[in-house]
Amino acid sequence: MTPLKIATYNIHKGFSQFNRRVVLHELRERLRELDADIIFLQEVQGEHAQHVQRHADYPAGPQHEFLADEFWAHHAYGMNAVYEAGHHGNAILSRFPIVQTNNKDVSAHRFESRGLLHCEVEVGGQKVDCLCAHFGLFAKGRRMQKRALIEYVRSAIPGDEPLIIAGDFNDWRDQLSPVLKRELGVRDVFDMHNGQPARSYPSRLPLFRLDRIYVRGFDVQQCDVHTGGKWKRLSDHAALSAQLKRT
């Protein structure tokens, strides 16, 4: 398998920090500049009728389709939160074929809808399991979602298959990484490369380690946190990227 570049980004439903303006066109440009093979996105707006009416530059279709456009030929969307005006969830954009998808509801309660999007991606004739996650804001809910993630991976993915789990885990105290390493054999790419997880929130001055990329069956050649410059006026989270090589 050739080296694989991946990225994860909570796009804040396509609005800048504090929801001041639509940033989807800038987001698309920045994502293309990353030149990642597979991108894991959280807080992706699948539909919102009022945004189209209020904002002249708001795309008519789902955000993941607008962002993928002709750059990523394959994409999948997992609808999580549903409301009167529309819905949002997680998405995966890929240069490689997505041969199967599954969206698992891991909501801890009805006030905070969360999901786990699983895509089987065929990379160079080999299957790579890709899971895009967005965990809740409260510790009790995150504990339930952690257990749901572990149980799902164990039941749905063979232990010898290459695995990538990425997203926004809201894991303020870094309590998730040791458990996932022990239970699933995955490690955070920044911990592997730099000795500690990346700081990704808030994007203007990252202090907290909320976003992660976990891998199994890969070595890490490079990893980056994308802040400042053209990135600083986009989401409240920073984007993370990593260059991987199959072990």
Q: Quick: pLDDT tens for 219-232.
A: 999 999 999 999 98
- pLDDT at position 56 is 75
- pLDDT at position 192 is 97
- pLDDT at position 232 is 86
- pLDDT at position 47 is 83
pTM of the model: 0.95
* 4-246 CATH pick, 3.60.10.10, 3.40.50.2300, 3.40.50.1100, 2.60.40.10: 3.60.10.10
- pLDDT at position 21 is 86
Task: For residue 206, give every residue at least 6 positions away whose Cβ sits within 8 Å of its Cβ, in sequence order, or none.
Answer: 198, 199, 200, 225, 227, 238
Q: For the chain, give every domain's residue range.
A: 4-246
- pLDDT at position 71 is 96
* Residue 12 zone, left/alpha/beta (φ > 0; ψ -120 to 50; rest): left
- The parts of the chain modelled with pLDDT lower than 50 are none
- pLDDT at position 85 is 84
